[in-house]
Every structure is written in C-alpha cells, then in structure tokens.
Amino acid sequence: DAGVIQSPRHEVTEMGQEVTLRCKPISGHDYLFWYRQTMMRGLELLIYFNNNVPIDDSGMPEDRFSAKMPNASFSTLKIQPSEPRDSAVYFCASRPPSGVGNTIYFGEGSWLTVV
Amino acid sequence: AQSVTQPDIHITVSEGASLELRCNYSYGATPYLFWYVQSPGQGLQLLLKYFSGDTLVQGIKGFEAEFKRSQSSFNLRKPSVHWSDAAEYFCAVGPRGGANNLFFGTGTRLTVIP
C-alpha cells in the first residue's frame, strides 16, 4: 500500500513568495493532519480534517497559513506570503476512521527553506 | 492538561549495548501510547503502540515498550542496539476512541558508537 505522499520533498523559496505543499493521504483514511517540525518547537499540530472538514485549526500560526481539503485524496497547505521563520519540515499524516485504531501515519515531509 | 515528557534529549550508546528511552505522560485517563522513530531526513515511522491488554508490547526492529500505569510511563527498550538504530525517537499519546491528534514529546536523539 502506498503511504502518505507529500510534495514537494524540498523547496527553497524567497521571502514573500507563495508556497503550496501538497498531500495525498492513505486511501480509506478519513483524518488528515498537518504538522510542523522545528528545532525550537518540536512537532506542532497545525490543523486537522475529518471527512474533508477542518476540525481544529487552532495551531495555524497566523492568517498567512491556510489549508484545504477539496476531496478525500488531496490536501494543500499554503503559506502566503512566506517568511524566513516559516522554514521548517511540514508533515502530512493520516489516520483511519475511529474504531479502527488511533495510529497516525506520516508522510516523509516537505523540507521548506525561506530565504 | 495532557503532556508527554521525554527527559533525555540525547543518549549515546555503544553498538550491542542495551537501550532504554524514557517517556512519561500526563493524561486524564489511560491514553493510547505510541513510539515513533525518525531517521535523518525522513518522516516518522511507527515503532509500536499500546491500546490495551498486555502491558509489554513488541514492535518492529526488535523494540519493545512497557506501559506502567502506576508510573505513567511507557519506556522503550531494545536489548542490543545496532548502528542503524541511530535516529530520533518520539513518544506520543492520544485519546482513546476519540478523534483528534497525538501529543508528542520533544524527542530523544540516539547516537550509536562502534
């Protein structure tokens, strides 16, 4: 089975540019999570969806960040405009429906550098 | 409030030596418990999980963990470490049967020396 697929794996962009990160969750999973990992703050949950609906976006740092899930097999995390402090690894993760277990499966991450 | 503590930021062990990584949690009830491993430049891979039943759980790559309710701990162990085990290890807790996400510890970096 294919795991959680993220793209791009690496991106270097200039401050002020728009960044779009993409994620395809595991088929059949109805929860999707976006995490950010930095040295200073560790792993932080940004937002999560259930059945394509955003459930908790309290971790989204500010209005420059937005996330969408137009269908069960695709989600995006957008940063506009990007700033150097957004440099981090962004992980997408998915989870099967409740009752099947709470195991969250992670993608390999998108390494973002904003210069 | 829920929290996960991994008191050891960095551990160095010799190849072939035994390993124990500590994890303590604070939670309203017995949660689901997980250990993930992150190799350099990679995502997080699930090592093992505890939901219920036997408090000693076996995982991949020869790892095991023991849930101790009285100590609110879920320590990870391996009897003989291999050089390929060098990575960052994260303990995580999540609510039973509910929605939402996992709470992660800050991680323990493992260095393996020859």
pLDDT given at position A73: 96
Compute the average pLDDT of residues B3-23: 96
Interface of B with A in 43-62 (CB under 8 A): 43-46, 49, 51
* Residue pair B83/B112 in contact by the 8 Å Cβ criterion: yes
- Residue A34 scores a pLDDT above 60: yes
Which of A38, A43, A90 is the best residue to mutate to test the B interface, defined by the most B CB atoms within 10 Å of its own CB?
A: A43
Q: Which of A89-98, B4-13, B27-36, B95-104 has the lowest mean pLDDT?
A: B95-104
Flag whether pLDDT at B97 surpasses 60.
Answer: no
Separation in Å, CA B81 to CA B46, B59, B68, B114: 18, 14, 23, 10
Q: Which residues in chain B are contacts of A31 at CB distance < 8 A? A: 99
- If one counts every other C-beta atom within 10 angstroms of the C-beta of residue A29, the result is 18
Q: What is the pLDDT of residues B14-52, one digit of tens each?
A: 999 999 999 999 887 778 899 999 998 888 999 999 988
Is B68's Cβ below 8 Å from some Cβ in A? no
**B7 in Cβ contact with B106 (< 8 Å):** no
Q: What is the mean pLDDT of residues A57-83?
A: 95
Record: contact A103-B34, CB cut-off 8 A? yes
Of A47, A42, A66, nearest to A58 (Cα)?
Answer: A47
pLDDT for the residue numbered B102:
81
DSSP B40: T
Between positions 2 and 31 of B, the ones with CB within 8 A of A are: none
Task: Give me the pLDDT at residue A101, please.
Answer: 62
